[in-house]
Amino acid sequence: MEGISYLEIINELNQELYEKSGEIGRDFSYSTNGYVDIVNFGEIMIWNSEMDEREWIEEKNDYEPFKPFIKRMYNQEIEKLQLFKFEILLRILNKPSDKQATIFDLIEEQRINNLDVEYTEVK
């Protein structure tokens, strides 16, 4: 990638996130083993250089700009999490009232089924 480095982009994204939301306990991070570059948000992998999903732009003979791509991938991951939250809510509402299901019951049920779900409080 020419010009700005991955780490500079990650720092810019974290600054933008902080300015919009304050401290949220999670941030973007960059890591590399010298061969593969990885961008995470918390524990969620947003991008890695081995499976670069950015659009190739023929006219520029280069990939689409990195920062807008990472923002788009982040937004897609957030949408997935919101759908999961909605799915849990529906499952709670559809349980018979005598069962008194809670979000913790459903997360435990999924953990038992080996789906590796973590609970993170959303404020």
Residues 6 or more apart in contact with residue 38 via CB below 8 angstroms: 30, 31, 32, 45, 47, 48, 49
Give the range of the structural domain holding residue 77, as residue numbers without chain letter. Answer: 6-112
Across 8-12, 40-44, 84-88, least confident range: 84-88
- 123 part of a folded domain: no
- 65 part of a folded domain: yes
CB contact burial 106-117 (16+ within 10 A = b; e otherwise): beeeeeeeeeee
Q: 67 pLDDT exceeds 50?
A: yes
- 121 part of a folded domain: no
- 85 part of a folded domain: yes
- 117 part of a folded domain: no
- 36 part of a folded domain: yes
Stronger pLDDT, 32 or 115, i.e. the higher one: 32
- The number of folded domains in the chain is 1
